[in-house]
Chains A and B, each alone.
Chain A
Amino acid sequence: MKRLLLILAMAFAVPVLADDSMPPAPYAYRQLENAAQEEKAQALMVTIRCLTCQSQSIADSDASMAGDMRNQIRQRIAAGEDPEAIRSWLIARYGEYITYTPRVTSITWPLFAAPLLLFAMAALLLRKRFRRNGE
């Protein structure tokens, strides 16, 4: 009986909303009036990671926190702040993880070195073959 009641309770459970019901921030979904500034903001927003949906950029995400981040980025760019200064401000708080534009650091250098290394290796291996064909 208890089990049946439990199953019935589960069947009629109301899903709990795990998001807020606040209206979005002023510039979360509204573009800046100045097209050049909006373009700058957009270019920055597509390269900033959403912290709620971690594989999306804040430009793609409908998470409320991403909306608040877009709002803040648009307002700061409208106030004349440089996009790279805003990126640095975010990196100072969330680390390199927040940006989709990796920089060369002590951990990321293999990313940049690997293609060069592979190209050099391929050239070395194929050198003989090219020479043979040339004869």
Chain B
Amino acid sequence: MSEAAAPKASRWALWLPLALFGAFVGLVAWNLIHPASSDVPSRFVGQPLPQFNLPAAAEGRPGLSRADMVSGKPKLLNVFASWCVPCAAESAQLAQLAAAGVEVDGIAIRDHKADLAAFLQRNGNPYARIGSDDVSAVQLAIGSSGVPESFVIDGKGVIRHQHIGVIMPDDVPKLLAKLQEAGR
């Protein structure tokens, strides 16, 4: 700034840098207190399930294919893994959904048979079928970005709703409503 220009500058222009700085600090503070969600919702909600055919992941439960999901009845597709710590927290809620008559099918991501068997032994087995996805292929094909995630699939095999993260006790009525909606 030249010396000649200083007296000419109006009052508000003098305070402008400070005001801008204040606004910047405010913006940073706001985003620190209210961090943006890091969830990546699937854009595949509303689309039919892609073709897939996964081998059985656990003893006594058949594997999972697209044809199994297209049975005229809405189902819950749970993407999970035995190595995923939060996945154990939703087993009671999955059992509750299964007890309410919902068919819960699982896709186990990158899981060893022995680990999965121990996980089901420990947390219960609400699944009618469990497919084993060792290279996350089906997970990528339906736009799922992590474990656990659950998808409401209608009777025609169309993805109707995605639930990201652990199913908490509060989420059970919401999912039951979504399943009912998908059955209409």
Chain A positions near chain B (C-beta within 8 angstroms) = 16-22, 25, 51-52, 54, 64-65, 68-69, 71-72, 90-95, 97-98
Contact = CB atoms under 8 A, between A and B. Distances in A.
A91 B40 CA distance: 12
Contact of B83 (A18, A69, A95): A18
Nearest to A75: B135
Given A68-B135, A95-B40, A18 B85 contact: yes
Interface size bracket, B side: 20 to 34
B143 A71 contact: no
Interface string B92-126: 00000000000000000111100100000000000
B142 interface: yes
Contacts of B140: 68-69, 72, 90, 93
A90 B144 CA distance: 11
Interface string B65-97: 000000000000000010111000000000000
B83 A68 contact: no
B42 A71 contact: no
B110 A93 contact: no
A46 B110 CA distance: 24
Given A17-B83, A20-B83, A72-B137, A64 B43 contact: no
A92 B115 CA distance: 33
A22 B136 CA distance: 11
B85 A52 contact: no
Contact of B135 (A25, A92, A94, A98): A25
B136 A65 contact: yes
A91 B140 CA distance: 11
